[in-house]
């Protein structure tokens, strides 16, 4: 007879980790960045970001529009193949904007989110200007 207390084996309590890996973003199908921003300017008065491209193209991106296109896995879901607009719950502004390598930028938004790596090709592909919209067949 043993008096040993019954030991409960904790089956390796799996800790659910939030996905914070900044590398874990939705891949954007482009091998090279053919165009890149030469200027990125915050315009707080209009809540837009002005992006001027190396080919002379320029457009104003609304902050909420950019936040909605955050390509991180947390916003888009794991395994998503296409970045889709997810409307933010409340209006946001970028606290900081920093370059990621020579191919992307990332934002730290006022809602605390900061995991999205916005490739230049993504930014260009969601250009909100009238001519790009009509090229994408979105109508104006
Ligand atoms: Zn995100
Ligand atoms: Zn455009």
Q: Give tens-digit pLDDT for 37-84.
A: 889 999 999 999 999 999 999 999 999 999 999 999 999 988 878 899
Dist. CA 75 → ligand 1 center (Å):
4
Predicted pLDDT at 101: 86
Over residues 92-116, the mean pLDDT reads 94
3-state class (DSSP) for residue 125: helix
Query: Which ligand has the nearest atom to the CA of 84?
Result: 1
CATH number at residue 100: 3.30.2020.30
Does residue 109 fall inside a structural domain? yes
The share of the chain scoring above pLDDT 90, in percent, equals 61
Residues 118 and 95: their CA atoms lie apart, in Å, by 15
Please indicate, yes or no, if residue 24 is contained in any of the structural domains: no
Q: What pLDDT does 81 receive?
A: 82
Residue 7, classed as helix, strand or coil, is coil
Which ligand is nearest to the Cα of residue 115, counting in written order?
1
Residue list, CB under 5 A from ion ligand 2: 59, 127, 129, 132
Tell me if 52 is assigned to some domain: yes
Question: Which ligand has an atom closest to residue 136 CA?
Answer: 2
Task: Count structural domains, the chain.
Answer: 1
Instruction: Identify the residue whose tokens are 């193949």.
Output: 81
């Amino acid at each position: 007879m043993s008096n040993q207390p019954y030991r409960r084996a904790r089956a390796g309590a799996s800790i659910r980790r939030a996905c914070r890996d900044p590398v874990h973003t939705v891949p954007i199908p482009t091998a090279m960045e053919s165009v890149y921003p030469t200027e990125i300017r915050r315009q707080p008065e209009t809540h837009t970001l002005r992006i001027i491209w190396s080919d002379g193209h320029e457009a104003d991106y609304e902050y909420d529009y950019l936040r909605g296109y955050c390509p991180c896995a947390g916003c888009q879901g794991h395994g998503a193949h296409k970045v889709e607009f997810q409307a933010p719950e409340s209006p946001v502004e970028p606290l900081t904007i920093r370059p990621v390598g020579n191919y992307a930028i990332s934002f730290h938004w006022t809602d605390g989110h900061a995991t999205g790596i916005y490739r230049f090709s993504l930014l260009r592909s969601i250009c909100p200007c009238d001519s790009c919209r009509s090229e994408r067949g979105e109508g104006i």
